[in-house]
Amino acid sequence: MNRIRATCLVDIENTNESLHAHAIPEGVEIQPGDSVLVHDAPYQCPYGERVSRECHATVTRAGMIGRWWTYLTAPFELLQLFEVGFEAKETP
Catalogue the E-assigned strands of the chain.
3-14, 19-25, 35-39, 49-60
Candidates 54, 44, 58; CA nearest to 14 is 44
CA 63 to the chain's CA centroid? 20
SS3 state of residue 62? coil
CB neighbour list of residue 48: distance below 8 Å, 6 or more residues apart: 14, 15, 16
Whether the Cβ atoms of residue 50 and residue 31 lie closer than 8 Å to each other: no
Candidates 22, 86, 84, 85; CA nearest to 54 is 22
pLDDT in tens, the chain (92 residues): 799 999 999 999 999 999 999 998 999 999 999 999 999 888 888 999 999 999 999 999 999 999 999 999 988 877 776 656 556 566 66
What is the DSSP code (8-state) at residue 27?
T
**Predicted structure pTM score:** 0.71
